[in-house]
Amino acid sequence: MNSKINDLLARVQEFHPKAAAEIEDFRIRILGKKGELTSLMEEFKTVAPERKRELGQSLNALKQAALAKIAALKEEFADAVASTPAIEDMSRPGTAETLGSRHPISIVKNEIIDIFSRLGYTVAEGPEIEDDWHVFSALNFPPEHPARDMQDTFFIEKTPDILLRTHTSSIQVRTMEHQKPPIRVICPGRVFRNEAISYRAHCIFHQVEGLYIDKGVSFADLKQSLLYFAKEMFGEQTRIRMRPSYFPFTEPSAEVDVSCNLCGGKGCNVCKGTGWLEILGCGMVDPNVLEANGIDSHEYSGFAFGMGVERIAMLKFGVKDLRLYFENDVRFLQQFESKL
């Protein structure tokens, strides 16, 4: 019996399975009901009492060795299973992850900020929920101005008026409140107007406002800054023209057109045959606005301008329906990052 024990112990020690399934077979062959060790245990019952002590110890040592071996092998194979790569053929190309892309409105907004930051402008922001003072009164809107009407403005509360800002010009006021001239800020933001949604209008859209206040700022500075912007945004060949206009917060006021970059100014259906496309409103900050915001209008002058980001993006990318910007169809949104 001693040699049987030693023989089995040797086989246990030399067992090197190739696959995990072999371990269980091995366990059954040794420790199972009809296993070799189990039958040795049976045989043990019949040995002479004086040999029981010695053989009992050997059998016990064999059993412990078999159990330890099985446990160690199981652990080894569990690690191997976990680290087995799911793909057998490592040289096969992987599945490409599709990358997200920036929204065209963000692309154009960032481009506008970038251009003006090269002229020394810094970014200022303000709240979307505003009061009457910052959106209208401090900007020289007379009490009966139609923009104060419910038809144009989303009111949250009446008396006192709390509303969704209708333009980013409110950030001009917020800037003047805590900054003394010289002021040179660019103010991007979302604005809200009570408008019917169509291919050319939406009740939510984006604007970028500009404000420059210092000693001796003139209309010529305004014109040159906007010409620089137009060339950077639409190309070196771009020209601008200014048409007289009216805004309560600027005097004089103008609307600015850029030469149509599709037909080069000859006239096409995008510019409706005129060769020009309107892109923004601007003017010299009205002295009433400076004074309402605590700035001495005899010492300082300034200009301001405001543009719609959707409008610039439509012209730049040739998008004809503004609603596409809000539908968030990935196929539409993916097209723009490479176009800059």
Q: Which is nearer to ligand DAH, 126 or 306 (CB)?
A: 306
Give 247's Cβ-side CA count (13 Å radius). 25
Burial class (CB in 10 A: 0-12, 13-18, 19+), 121: buried
Smallest gap, in angstroms, from Cβ of residue 304 to ligand DAH? Answer: 3
Q: Which is nearer to ligand DAH, 238 or 250 (CB)?
A: 250
Smallest gap, in angstroms, from Cβ of residue 229 to ligand DAH? Answer: 14
Q: Could you identify the residue written with the tokens 């009901």?
A: 33
Among 61, 52, 63, residue whose Cα is nearest residue 1 = 52
Q: What are the two backbone dihedrals, phi and then psi, of residue 212, each rounded to the nearest 5 degrees?
A: -135, 120
Smallest gap, in angstroms, from Cβ of residue 146 to ligand DAH? Answer: 13
Q: Which is nearer to ligand DAH, 36 or 209 (CB)?
A: 209
Query: Which residue sits closest to ligand DAH, CB atoms considered?
Result: 306
Report, in this order, helix, strand and coil percent for the chain, each rounded to 5.
40, 20, 35
Give me the residues that bind ligand DAH (CB under 6 A), please. 167, 169, 209, 247, 250, 281-283, 304-306
Smallest gap, in angstroms, from Cβ of residue 309 to ligand DAH? Answer: 12
Q: Which is nearer to ligand DAH, 213 or 282 (CB)?
A: 282
Q: Which is nearer to ligand DAH, 169 or 175 (CB)?
A: 169
According to DSSP, the β-strands at 240-247 and 183-192 are unpaired
DSSP states along 284-329: EEPHHHHHHTT--TTT-EEEEEEEEHHHHHHHHHT---TTHHHH--
Smallest gap, in angstroms, from Cβ of residue 289 to ligand DAH? Answer: 10
